[in-house]
Chains A and B, each alone.
Chain A
Amino acid sequence: MRALFSRDHWPLWVVLVLIALALVLPAVLPWTYDQIDWDAVRAPAFSGSHIFGTDEIGRDRLARLAAGTRVTLMVAIAAALVSLIVGIAWGATAGWVGGKVDEAMMRFVDALYALPFMFIVILLMVIFGRSILLVFIGIGLVEWLTMARVVRGQVMALKQRPFILAAEAAGTPPLTIILKHVLPNIAGVALAYLMLTVPQVVMVESFLSFLGLGVQEPLTSLGILVKEGADDMDMTPLGLLLPGGLLVLLLVCLTIEGERLRDIYS
């Protein structure tokens, strides 16, 4: 636990501080994310009570950034958990059963890897309406492939280890072995890849929102803020630079931290 406070883990701390800000700021700011200040449309930074100014219809930038970060991270964490569950179930089954079943299941994963998945997700969004629930189910179902591959590899390696063979010889039912002996041993690797899935999901969610297919107004996300900023950048560049910079900072920190964890566990 003390390792978490070492200097190497700065990206994790950046992310945690950003999360804390996203949670606390809406409660202390004088403006809400959808409240319009009619006296201050496109206000520059540090004008009155608007620290980062206001957007093209007079909404407080900082409040919108906090709200957007919150939605983006919420969707990301939920979707990453969906991918974790699907990936572990698929990968552990393939790795444990082995043989023909394993081959068929992994062929399926290979085939899905090669598909233009983003386009199927876009179709899903268009077809079933743009609910936030669907956004993360859709994304989670796309992002489980790597998790399945990694878990399968780990399970196959574990299966040969003496303590698993001993449990089998003692007549322990397979499901108990998987739940009590296999899964705890792959938790570290799974956590590392979960960490790497989060930035992927953030990317997909923002991409969809940018195209107008993800999170819907009046709710906001970092992708929507980038889109709004890009549309108005000739008037107020800050509107693009703030959410864009924040998004990149989040993605970079999550990726660095995830890769570090992955290198530790594999």
Chain B
Amino acid sequence: MMALVARRLMTAIPTLLAIILASFFLMRLAPGGPFDGERPLPPETQAALQTAYGLDKPLWEQAWLYVSRLVQGDFGPSLVYRDFTVSELVAQGLPISLTLGGLAIILALLIGISAGLFAAVRAGKAADKTIMMLATVATALPTFVTGPALALLFGLWLGLLPVSGTSQGWSWLVMPVVALALPVSGAIAKLTRAGLATVLKQDHIRTARARGLPETKILFRHGLRPALVPVASYLGPAAAGLLTGAVVVETVFGLPGLGRYFVQGALNRDYPLVLGVVTLYAALIILFNLFADLIYGWLDPRMREG
């Protein structure tokens, strides 16, 4: 197990570095700079700002400086939110995005696995077909449609939940989390259902049945665990999807998470802010993939060696 973690971390570092450098140079190819305002600044001021932020040095040197500071945990100053460092902005945004994403994946797993289980037990019956149809519909629900639609129904019409901001207790979390979780839960339900259908036909299940074990025990002790292997391998892409969805949800519900800083930063050419957010996103996704691999090994012992 430790060997697997170590090997994954060995590939994670170059991957992360490649993403950081690729985004760094892409960003610099862009026309326009962070100091373009409504009114053009005098050339002297422009030059002074460039020097102050080190933007006049050769690109490679800037990239090297950036990475070497990053290693020490310094994301640099934000160029647009002038009084803040990127670390400060990220420290504000990260907890919100992590809460949204974390709750969404938990909710999606709960709904998805139970729906898949329920459908598999009633394989071929009307309940199975209905659930699978609903799951397909759920996977096709984009967050930028469900988000505003939920806000319209529960926020504006019924007045049950707040439409924007993070103020009132936990109720602001409900709609963003549901909008994020829906498509993922649909996909998980389908994977669970398909996984169980294969597993329940296997010999060890027939043996368990022949020995007269109760059906619930067969399902939960012997069926579900191997059936969840495809779900575990879906967790990596799901995490990437949730982070992307979070960008929309944060915009729709006016939440100051990482996603909003990313979009704003990209539009304002706030290089350090965008790089910082991309780096964090990439690190989170890599970390989550590692976590998914560990779950994979726990679900299917044969995978632990490979």
Contacts and interface: CB of A to CB of B under 8 A. Distances in A.
Contacts of A259: 136
Contact of B142 (A124, A203, A211, A229): A203
B248 A211 contact: yes
A126 B266 contact: yes
A229 B263 CA distance: 20
9 contacts: A114-B289, A115-B19, A115-B285, A116-B278, A117-B240, A122-B262, A211-B247, A241-B152, A251-B142
Contacts of B144: 206-207, 210, 223, 226-227, 230
Interface string B1-43: 0000000000000010001001100110110000000000000
A44 interface: no
A137 to B, nearest CB: 15
Contacts of A199: 140
A244 interface: yes
Q: Nearest 3 A-B pairs (CB), nearest first?
A: A251-B140, A230-B148, A127-B30
A162 B148 CA distance: 56
Interface of A: 111, 113-120, 122-124, 126-128, 199, 203, 206-207, 210-211, 223, 226-227, 229-230, 233-234, 237, 240-241, 244, 247-248, 251-252, 254-256, 259
A114 B145 contact: no
Nearest to A227: B144
Given A118-B247, A226-B148, 5 more contacts: A114-B289, A120-B22, A226-B144, A247-B145, A252-B140
Interface string B243-267: 1100110011000000000110011
Contacts of A206: 142, 144
B156 A233 contact: yes
Nearest to A127: B30
Interface string B115-143: 00000000000000000000011011110
B243 to A, nearest CB: 6
Nearest to B23: A123
A256 B145 contact: no
A240 B26 contact: no
Nearest to A240: B148
Contacts of B156: 233-234
Chain A at the B interface: SS class: helix
B197 interface: no
Nearest to B240: A116
A199 B248 CA distance: 18
Contacts of B251: 211
Nearest to A243: B145
Interface residues on B, range: 35 or more
A234 to B, nearest CB: 6
Contacts of A255: 136, 139-140
A118 B140 contact: no
Contacts, number: 112
Given A203-B142, A234-B156, A248-B140, A114 B148 contact: no
Contact of A252 (B19, B136, B286): B136
A206 B240 CA distance: 18
B189 interface: no
Interface in B223-250: 236-237, 240, 243-244, 247-248
Given A233-B152, A247-B145, A116 B281 contact: yes
B240 A127 contact: no
B179 interface: no
A116 B251 CA distance: 18
A230 B248 CA distance: 12
A128 B31 CA distance: 8
A251 B151 CA distance: 21
A248 B15 contact: no
A180 B6 CA distance: 46
A113 B236 contact: yes
A117 to B, nearest CB: 7
Contact of B263 (A116, A211, A244, A256): A211
Given A207-B142, A252-B136, A252-B137, A118 B148 contact: no
A237 B27 contact: no
A114 B286 contact: yes
Contacts of B281: 116, 119
B136 A114 contact: no
A211 B143 CA distance: 12
Contacts of A256: 136
B282 interface: yes
Contacts of B303: none
Contacts of A123: 23, 26-27, 266, 274, 278
